Amino acid sequence: MANQIDKAIDILISQYPKLKFTQKNMKNITEQIFKMPVPVLPHKRGDIILSAHGELHKSEPYHRHDYFLINYSYRGDYTQCIESENIILHQGEVLLFQPYVAHSLLPHATAGDSILSVRIRKELIFHSLLPLMPKHEALLHFFLSPLSGSPSDAHKYLILSGDDVLNASMHSVFKILILEYVNMLPGYDTLLDSALSMLFSLFSRCYCADNFKNPSSQSEILIDNILKYLSRNCATATLKDVAEKFNYHPNYLSTILQKETGKTFSELIREFRLKRACTLLQYSLLPIEEIAVLVGYPHSSNFYKTFKKEYHISPHQYRIQTKPGNG
């Protein structure tokens, strides 16, 4: 199965340069709007088009497009520049773009990594997928607002990630989507539609779990937002930087974090870094020293010491014990 998926992703990577995009050039290059590309033959279906990237030696041109885009970091962490802000998409996370959002995928030098792009026409979203989703006002607005067709009206994106079970479910459905799209076996059209329906139902579950916890106080809302930020930026976040971002004094932020979570800022950062390291150890082929740097430990000796203190085994032992296929 793993070899089939890797071969299918390689095919999608090789097909990307063959996609024929048309665009409307605006005065500013950031206003270039790409239309849905023509599918690569033998594909004839034009309402959903898959492609993938592996290593990127230079940034994509900064651009917009008139369709919905799903980026799924299948293996590795990728950085996107979205409306002039750099966003790290961690392995297993989904980045869902509205049409007309200005963005670019930045260079990525790690061999063996891959990010999947799923382009979906607005009509398919509106007529086939949206009716399957829970009727939450904010989520519906995300998908319905591009109906106006105006670039100035659409400026949103969603980053979706669930718990381990939910992420594993999404990963499995993305595998189905990739294999059916590439292999085109009898009945693949129906299975593509089914996989998309499943994905959007899982997206809804992720979104609802993340946004409808009904926090009972402003401090809980603040803590929830800070923890999300720390999870995404644990490699570089400092107390001073986080306090500035959320417009609080560092001492106040430190106090409220400990009060609400029972952990200090340093403990939270360490926890997020080690969780990210565990994911990379289990699912990537990166050297351990490189993983240490990626999660925020420029000196690998500190990483080894911290990891072993937390998990009572070395990073190398953890990688061996948790390697997919080891039971």
What is the residue extent of each domain of the chain?
Answer: 2-211, 218-322
Better-scored residue on pLDDT, 105 or 284: 105
Q: Which residues contact 206 (CB under 8 A, 6 or more apart)?
A: 94, 160, 161, 162, 166, 170
Is the pLDDT higher at 133 or at 17? Answer: 17
Is 179 a residue whose pLDDT tops 50?
A: yes
Q: What percentage of residues in the chain have a pLDDT greater than 70?
A: 86
Considering only residues 327 and 258, tell me which one the structure prediction assigns the higher pLDDT: 258
pLDDT averaged over every residue in the chain: 84
The larger pLDDT score, comparing residue 307 to residue 129, is at 307
Look at residues 132, 133, 145 and name the one whose alpha carbon lies nearest to residue 101.
Answer: 145
The whole-angstrom separation of Cα 20 and Cα 223 is 45
pTM listed for this prediction: 0.67
Task: Decide: 92 and 18 in contact? Cβ < 8 Å.
Answer: no
Average pLDDT of span 275-303 = 89
The per-residue b/e assignment along 251-265, b for 16 or more CB within 10 angstroms, e otherwise, is: eebbeebeebeeeeb
Ramachandran bin of 243, using left for φ above 0, alpha for ψ from -120 to 50, beta for the remaining angles:
alpha
Q: Rounded to an integer, what distance in angstroms lies between the CA atom of residue 201 and that of residue 231?
A: 24
Decide which of 3.40.50.720, 3.40.50.300, 1.10.3720.10, 1.10.10.60 is the CATH code for 218-322. Answer: 1.10.10.60
Is the pLDDT reported for residue 254 higher than 60? yes
Closest CA relative to residue 49, chosen from 28, 23, 68: 68
> Residue 37 and residue 20: Cα distance in Å, rounded?
5
Give the pLDDT band (50/70/90) at residue 155: very low
**Measured distance between the N- and C-terminal CA atoms of the chain, rounded to whole angstroms:** 15
**């499943």: which residue's tokens?**
198
Which range among 161-175, 202-216, 287-301 shows the weakest confidence by mean pLDDT? 202-216
Query: In terms of CATH, what superfamily is 2-211?
Result: Regulatory protein AraC (2.60.120.280)
Q: Between 312 and 212, where is the model more confident?
A: 312
Q: Is pLDDT of 221 > 80?
A: no
Q: At what angle do helices 188-211 and 164-183 cross, to 10 degrees?
A: 160
